[in-house]
Amino acid sequence: MAKSSKPQNIYESEVREDWLDRLARFNQHFGRFARDAVGVLLLAIALMTLLALTGYTEGILLTPLAELLSLWFGWGAYLIVVAIGYSGYAFLRHSPTPLPWSRLFALELAAFLSLALLAARGGNSLLRAESGMDGGRVGWGLVTLFWQVGTVPGTLFLFISWLLVLMVGFNLWALLERSLMKLAGEAPPVEARDSAPPEAEKEAPAEEKKEKQPRKKSTPLPPEFRKSLKVSEHQDKKPAAPRERDEHLPSLNILLTDQNTRPDERTINQTAGMIEKTLAEFGIVATVIGFRIGPTVTQFAVQPGFMKRAGSATTTEEEAQQIKVRVAQIASLQKDLALALSAERLRIEAPVPGKPYIGIEVPNSHTSLVRMRSILETDAFHKIGTPLAMALGRDVSGQPVVADLARMPHLLIAGATGSGKSVCITALASCLAMNNPPEDLRMVMID
């Protein structure tokens, strides 16, 4: 019988995965601090090199380094200082979009061509280059190579090459293209697609920009599934009457107002009809009897219907039994409804507490940003009547959600990543600052 392979090879991949996991965890926890440390180190090196080149400081390492840089790069040694300093700044900035390799290579090539231009300006003298002037030995060597075709043609070719490479490195081609199109009286292709003027485009919120996108064409629903629900403005959406505030409290005018983007009647009726049609395809009779529009989702009230079940062979059609649709039957079709409605996520509340229907929450195509000012101006917030009132947001139907911090002296805010813990803490601190004068408010925040 053939011998089996060595057992340690079976676990080799697991050991490698554990090592990679540990490396990933280390980078997750300490990667940002490592980049900060590298950035500070590069800035310190750039500063010390600059002081050594200018003669303001000397040392066992700095003096030979300055002499070496001046010998080979001449006045271009200061470009190295700029490059090191910018690298440190880039590490500290934590930019999510690093500089492309093509532009980085172009900038390096432009730096070498700059050394050649400095050497050409000084007459390409080797004596000046070895004295730390012009472009140093590197610049002298490049100019000697370019001047093989002649002094004037070589210098002209060198200058044109430097100019073109510099435009690529600093991405000046796009700026030149826009300038030429403006001189020609033409608009860029992207701006031509927008009918609004540039000023209005800058001031338009993100929600309004999304509404400009063309609406996807939907398949017409059968007549039996077409709805005629009406979208009426909620009472709480009306502008709240101005309330008198203490002169020592900050004015509410420093806060932004809501920018409501409610779904229109066509979208509401189309979604309601699709819900009924999808349930009917699975043999479930149900009717959408209403809806509640919230900032991010719209809850459709679905009332289960009755299904006819034929009796035995001796039972006539008139004696057929009617059976109520079970709630679990609708709740089990959550993924099928999400697929039919093209929704990223869909939640079914079966049933809605205290209501004779099931709630199907469908995400809105354009979410509304809930501002704190609209909550502070509601009657629900003022009914609390305490300095420790909190504005938490709005529920699924758009109603304000408020709380009294005095009734919860021990508060724990927990949740998954991206669930809004930091936003909740910010809203809590802002409410305390908006409703208490400085002499009464004492707050300690530890991060």
What residue ranges in 75-166 does DSSP mark as E strands? none
At 431, give phi and psi (nearest 5°): -65, -40
The residue among 324, 373, 379 whose CA lies nearest residue 351 is 324
Cβ-contact 92, 36 below 8 angstroms? yes
pLDDT reported for residue 212? 44
The residue among 240, 231, 232 whose CA lies nearest residue 258 is 240
Quote the CA–CA distance of 79 and 95 in Å, as a whole number: 22
pLDDT reported for residue 402? 92
pLDDT reported for residue 151? 85
**Residue 166, amino acid:** L
**Residue 204, amino acid:** A
pTM attached to this predicted model:
0.43
Q: Cα 229–212–188 angle (5° rounding)?
A: 170
Cβ-contact 325, 285 below 8 angstroms? yes
* Topology, domain 226-260+370-447: Rossmann fold (3.40.50)
**How many CA atoms does the CB half-sphere of 168 hold within 13 Å?**
17
Peptide bond into 263 cis (omega under 30): no
Quote the CA–CA distance of 303 and 206 in Å, as a whole number: 36
Structure-token pair, residue 94:
């934590």
User: Residue 22's Cα: distance from chain center in Å?
Assistant: 28
Quote the CA–CA distance of 42 and 50 in Å, as a whole number: 12
Element spanning 48, H or E? helix 12-54
What residue ranges do the domains of the chain occupy?
226-260+370-447
**Residue 433, amino acid:** A
pLDDT reported for residue 307? 76
| Angular region, 123: left φ>0, alpha ψ -120 to 50, beta rest | left
pLDDT reported for residue 223? 56
pLDDT reported for residue 25? 59
The residue among 300, 288, 411 whose CA lies nearest residue 360 is 300
- Count of C-beta atoms within a 10 Å radius of residue 16: 10
Per-residue pLDDT of the chain (447 residues; tens, 9 = 90+): 444 444 444 444 444 445 555 656 566 556 667 778 888 998 999 899 899 888 888 888 888 888 888 888 888 888 888 988 888 888 888 765 667 777 778 888 888 888 888 888 888 888 888 888 888 888 888 888 888 888 888 888 888 888 888 888 777 777 777 777 667 655 444 433 333 444 434 444 444 444 444 444 555 666 555 566 666 654 445 545 556 677 778 888 888 877 767 788 888 888 888 898 889 888 888 888 888 888 888 889 998 888 776 554 444 454 456 788 888 888 888 888 988 888 888 899 888 888 888 999 998 888 878 888 888 888 888 888 888 898 988 887 778 899 998 888 788 888 888 888 888 888 899 999 888 888 888 888 887
Helices 62-73 & 77-93, crossing angle to 10 degrees?
A: 110
pLDDT reported for residue 187? 45
The residue among 262, 266, 264 whose CA lies nearest residue 226 is 266
